[in-house]
Amino acid sequence: MLHMIERLFALHKIEYAVIDRDWRIVEFSAHFSQLADAPNEVQIDRDIRLSLPELVGAEAALERILQQQQQHFELRSIARPSHPERPIYINLHVLRYEEDRSCDR
């Protein structure tokens, strides 16, 4: 199933990272580091705020998402000037993720 989701994301140029309660990266997609402000910081068990400094100050929103008091958090049009002649802009979405355990039975 995860492979199918990755294929769907690729069609829409969507990259992702999964983080834990302490903001540490648990998993990330193949090209996620290309969208990071500091690509070399995109590593398992590293604080995602090192690679996405836009998340600094968003800790309260993450806590509300974890406590199911807020559905999601979004930052739009973040500039990534990796190519000065053609900067790219990304939209960042933070969502609560729970594994579907019904497949384990």
In the chain, domain spans: 2-104
Tens of pLDDT, residue by residue over 46-71, are 999 999 999 999 999 989 998 999 99
Q: Tell me the pTM.
A: 0.77
Average pLDDT, the chain: 85
Give the tokens for residue 32: 């996620």
Identify the three-state secondary structure at position 55.
Answer: helix
pLDDT score recorded for residue 51:
95
Residue at token pair 């199933």? 1
12-to-6, 7, 9, 75 alpha-carbon distances in Å:
10, 9, 5, 18
Whether the CB-CB separation of 90 and 78 falls below 8 Å is answered with yes
CATH assignment, 2-104: 3.30.450
